[in-house]
Amino acid sequence: MNKRRISLMIALVLLFSLLASCKPKVRMKFSFDYFDSFDTLVKATGYFFTQEEADKFDKKLAEKLKYYDNLFDCHKEHEGLNNVYTINKMAGKEKVKVDEALINLISQSKTLGLKYDSRVNIAFGAIIELWEKSMTEAYENDELKAATPDIDELKERAKYASLNNIIIDKEESTVYITDERTKINLGSVAKGYAVELICNELKDEGFDSVVISAGGNVKTIGHPNGETKRKWTVGVENPYSASEMKEGDSEIYDILYTMDKSIVTSGDYQRYFYGLDNVKYNHIIDTRTLSSARNFRAVTVITKDSGIADFLSTLLFTMTYEEGAETIKDFPDTEALWINFDNTEFYTDGLKHYSKSLGATN
């Protein structure tokens, strides 16, 4: 090997070393807020090497949140997009061709719904519509009060709220509702499912240190700041209002340490109103009573898939603890926390690996 060739190789090594030294080695922390999707505040925190990387993440997340919010929307149509509203509008008339993500969510929700006796029923749209009307009226009232839906009308609409009225053709990518009185509402599952899809897309694009919180739905990707020995710290909100708390109680009920997990909470303390009977009514409807589920103040589920976690937290909220504890056995590597009305709790044995109050550390 001659001296000229050796010199060239040395020059190339020096060049590559120089380029490598130009790459940022320290991540910076960025936080983002989004106010226009899924009727809730969505917050994201991530660690990025450059401002440009953070901006790319911000743009991607905002676009995807808006897209899936529109796709899963049952309240209004969006130009150029067949969504849940479109499917409901065409009920009893014709099939509707929709995006694969919507087909898969409806299919998963129908399958799981039928498996668990329709306790979480996406065909309950016409019933939920009545409860949403009462809640809207209450929000316009300073006392947060409104008349509850007429029970006879609820029972009449429930006759047509069958999951079997939803026909899915995955090959043609179509959804058809056989009865024009049946309406789909994905409110109990859509947010978690959307967060899962979005996070998978973000990971595919190389974003590996992120946490997203969409209301009661939290999803973590990787480790904070890329540090493999650290976990994300996620607070479980105390479901008791300030007037209900005892002296010294915190707004955070517990701290959970997780990585690459989803944490979803269903509770009666965020979306609710009071009937003219002064009874508190929350937004989670028990399909057997056609009224608010009242077994717990809150149920938190920890598992890998945010869509499954969203479904499960709603399902367990409508069950007794004994029913829920048995049901959760169907879902491997899944833990749950039930908070009762008297501030006592139930939890699965594996929760101790995540819960600060049960001895877990970061």
Q: How far is CA 126 from CA 22, 107, 154, 219, 227, in A?
A: 59, 19, 8, 31, 48
Going by C-alpha positions, the residue among 208, 192, 212, 187 that lies closest to residue 34 is 212
CB-CB neighbours of 117 under 10 Å: 12
**39 labelled binding-site residue:** no
The count of C-alpha atoms lying within 13 angstroms of the C-alpha of 206, restricted to the half-sphere facing its C-beta, is 5
The count of C-alpha atoms lying within 13 angstroms of the C-alpha of 319, restricted to the half-sphere facing its C-beta, is 22
CA-derived radius of gyration, the chain: 24
- Asked if residue 340 lies in contact with residue 296, where contact means CB atoms within 8 angstroms, the answer is yes
Going by C-alpha positions, the residue among 190, 195, 194 that lies closest to residue 44 is 195
**314 labelled binding-site residue:** yes
CA 341 to chain centre: 24
**320 labelled binding-site residue:** no
The binding site comprises: 188, 310, 314
User: Which residues define the annotated binding site for Mg(2+)?
Assistant: 188, 310, 314
